[in-house]
Homo-oligomer: A and B are copies of this chain.
Amino acid sequence: MRPTLQTVADTVGVSRSTVSNAYSRPDQLSPELRARILAAATALGYAGPDPAARSLRKRRAGAIGVLFTATLSYAFTDPYAVQFLRGLAGSAEQARTGLLLLPLSIDDEAAAVGAVNDAVVDGFCVYCMPDWHPALDAVQARGLPVASGQRREGDGPLNAFVGIDEAAATRSAGEHLVALGHRRVAIVGDDLSVARVTGPARLASPADIGYYTSRERLRGYQEALAAAGVGWSSISTVNVAGNGRADGAEAAGYLLDRAPRPTAIAALSDILALGVLDALRERGLRPGHDVSVVGFDDIPEAAADGLTTVHQPAAERGRRSGQLLLDPPTDPADRTVVLPTKLVVRASTGPAPS
């Protein structure tokens, strides 16, 4: 039989509470008694207070749940994700809290809901999930604080939003392209699937996309181009399998090897944009001259490759998400944080070739 606080208390001849104090509040008992108790505990093979029991009693889990749909490998290939997690981990560490990664299956929805319901956490951070995923409803049902970068119908009053104005960000990027004379623009993204269907489907409208981030970013481009008289139907969109450099290159290949070639390619992440640049180089095309390329995120590699992109404060998003989660402000107004973004123009964009 496994030893518990009671076992230790009985052998030493003190009460359970005193043994508890010996571990958690050393100032509440004499050093001698404490030493005796700890000695008895090691003699009995008692490993110290059970975290699960403590967690139940204290009503604190000491962890926040981070929801992903992507496989971890995809999630972490993106420096943006790493920076975000870094910020989140920083806040968590300050609050003596761990990060419980919950990689949720997109297909097995029951398993995903189960994982959410079983998670011993003090709150959830939604990282990148399609709006329709039932795990998000499960998160709401838990009634815990939630921090998310995606707005969604059915979000409860405890929800915090920490994000950026995604559409405004890409609108500024789109206006930049328009000002340079670009009218034949293509968009590459990795979460462009419509509702629950995956694959390179032709999109009727950005509004159909299941992922908030992609939907909003696409909307921004749509608006900027529409203002220049470029209709949605004349914009090519390519949905790729994952957020990898090779995926971006593959998508670009698809666009570049067909006529008419777009004069500008907008990628919804820098990783994809860097892949697009790879594809250009491979074909002897000059970025910013033959084809302009825009990314999103402004990861460190973007500066090195001269990529025009939208800067967003990744680590800060994570940090603020953690704060709002671990110490939710009472005033609902304080639970919405919209961080600034900035278009960073570099060499990868230039006037449209005539």
Question: Could you tell me if B52 and A118 are in contact, using CB atoms closer than 8 angstroms?
Answer: no
User: Whole-angstrom distance between the alpha carbons of A103 and B73 in the complex?
Assistant: 19
**CA separation between A95 and B162, bound complex, in Å?**
32
Known: A47-B142, A82-B76. A89 touches B71 (CB 8 A): yes
Q: Can you give 14 contacting A-B residue pairs, CB < 8 Å?
A: A47-B142, A47-B143, A51-B118, A52-B55, A56-B56, A63-B119, A63-B120, A71-B89, A73-B86, A96-B115, A98-B101, A99-B100, A100-B100, A100-B101
Name the 7 nearest CB pairs between A and B, nearest first.
A73-B86, A99-B101, A52-B56, A76-B82, A72-B89, A47-B143, A52-B55
Given known A-B contacts A73-B86, A118-B62, A111 and B99 have beta carbons under 8 A apart = no
Q: Which residues of chain B have C-beta atoms less than 8 A from A59's C-beta?
A: 52
A334 at the B interface (CB under 8 A): no
Q: Which residues of B contact A143 (CB under 8 A)?
A: 45, 47
Are A62 and B119 interface neighbours, CB within 8 A? yes
The contact of A98 among B54, B77, B86, B100, by CB within 8 Å, is B100
**Among B45, B71, B86, B121, which residue has its beta carbon within 8 angstroms of that of A71?**
B86
Question: Complex formed: what's the CA distance from A55 to B54 in Å?
Answer: 11
Within 8 A of B (CB), among A52-88: 52-56, 59, 61-63, 65, 71-73, 76-77, 79, 82-83, 85-86
Asked whether any CB of chain B lies closer than 8 Å to the CB of A102, the reply is yes
Complex: chain B residue closest to A50, CB-CB: B56
Chain B min CB distance to A338 (Å): 24
- In the complex, A119→B52 CA distance in Å? 8
- Other-chain residue from B47, B51, B72, B118 in contact with A54 (beta carbon distance below 8 A): B118
Does A305 count as interface, using CB distance less than 8 angstroms?
no
Tell me the nearest residue of chain B to A89, going by C-beta: B72
A351 interface residue per 8 A CB criterion: no
Residue on B nearest A23 in the bound complex, by CB = B117
Q: Is the CB of A52 within 8 A of B85?
A: no
* One of B50, B83, B96, B100 near A114 (C-beta < 8 A): B96
C-alpha spacing A100/B103, complex, angstroms = 11
Q: Is B61's CB under 8 angstroms from A52's CB?
A: yes
Q: How far is the CA of A74 from the CA of B49 in the complex (A)?
A: 32
Contacting pair A82 B86 (CB below 8 A) = no
B100 with A63: CB separation less than 8 A: yes
Alpha-carbon distance A354/B132, docked complex (angstroms) = 66
- A45, A93, A114 pick with most chain B CB within 10 angstroms: A93
Contact A82 B72 (CB under 8 A): yes
